[in-house]
Amino acid sequence: MESIVDYPIVVFAISLVATAMAALLGAALARRGAVNEETLQYLGVVQTATLTLLGLVVGFTFSMAVGRYDQRKNYEEEEANAIGTEYVRAELLPEAETAKVLAGLRAYLNLRIEWYSEKDKTRLREIDARTARLQEELWDVVRRRAKAEPTPLMTLAVSGMNDVLNTQGYTQAAWWNRIPQAAWALMLSLAVCANVLVGIGAQAKARQAFLFVLPLVVALSFLLIADIDSPRRGLIAVSPSNLLSLAQSLGPR
């Protein structure tokens, strides 16, 4: 199920509005005298501590997003390698089974390429259903032959097909592995608190011109994290370049 964090531009808008309003709230509190001189003496320490914690959390979350992005790229490469390897090993099967497996792997490869670039949920469900049926058909071919001829060569063909099926599952799991919403809530809460403190300090020190700098920087940081963490909606997406290269090496589809 999709959520707000699946749309980076929405994350940017919400974070920008929330942090800007927090900065304005801090400035309003300072103007109304809600913060006395004694409190202002400790404001710099609290600001520094809060901003440092915010920076650490944002940096840690960015690292999580990049790690997940790299994982998705690695599994796309593994998928291409597994399909290419099984395509070669299919020649170890008898001629009739070889033709079925080769045709099935070509169709399977095309489905995997579509899956990486498709954004429509209805179309994705159709691709997933066709992929599952094709996996069953391919596995059934090698399983029947391996049972009829339990030889080392058949073992290689079965092992290769097992890798094809497993890498697809690993890829799906990697695309579901997203930054927890609790982490987003924590970042936004820290950003709001930090901007309230910045607003108080800016008003108290007549530096209102810099009041919206931090909200913009925070919102841009959230936008980048959300974009990297969103497999289908972000601009920074995983391209099936290895699968496309494999399809080209196999000839016309």
| Residues 170-226 pLDDT 10s | 999 999 999 998 899 999 999 999 998 888 877 555 556 678 888 999 999 999 999
Q: What is the pLDDT of residue 233?
A: 82
User: How many angstroms separate the CA atoms of 120 and 111, rounded?
Assistant: 14
How do residues 239-251 score in pLDDT, each as one tens digit? 899 999 999 988 6
- Please give the model's pTM, rounded to 2 decimal places: 0.85
Length of the chain: 253
Q: What is the pLDDT of residue 121?
A: 86
CB 190 within 8 A of CB 57: yes
How many CB atoms lie under 10 A from the CB of residue 29? 16
Mean predicted confidence (pLDDT) in 24-31? 82
Q: What is the pLDDT of residue 70?
A: 94
**DSSP codes of every residue in 209-229:** GGTTHHHHHHHHHHHHHHHHH
- Picking from 180, 200, 237, 232, the residue whose alpha carbon sits closest to that of residue 57 is 180
Mean predicted confidence (pLDDT) in 86-111? 90
Looking up tokens 């069953």, which residue turns up?
136
Instruction: Give percent helix, percent strand, percent coil of the chain, each to the nearest 5.
Output: 85, 0, 15
How do residues 112-139 score in pLDDT, each as one tens digit? 999 998 888 889 999 999 999 999 999 9
Q: What is the pLDDT of residue 203?
A: 59
Phi, psi of 51 (to 5 degrees): -65, -35
- Spatial neighbors of 57 by CB under 8 A, at least 6 apart, are 183, 186, 187, 190
CB 224 within 8 A of CB 59: no
Position 40 pLDDT exceeds 80: no
Q: What is the pLDDT of residue 192?
A: 94
Amino acid identity, position 156: L
Mean predicted confidence (pLDDT) in 101-117? 93
User: How many angstroms separate the CA atoms of 171 and 175, rounded?
Assistant: 6
Looking up tokens 């919206």, which residue turns up?
212
Q: Look up residue 184 and give its two tokens.
A: 């987003």
CB 135 within 8 A of CB 168: yes
User: How many angstroms separate the CA atoms of 51 and 190, rounded?
Assistant: 8
Mean predicted confidence (pLDDT) in 5-24? 92
User: How many angstroms separate the CA atoms of 65 and 69, rounded?
Assistant: 6
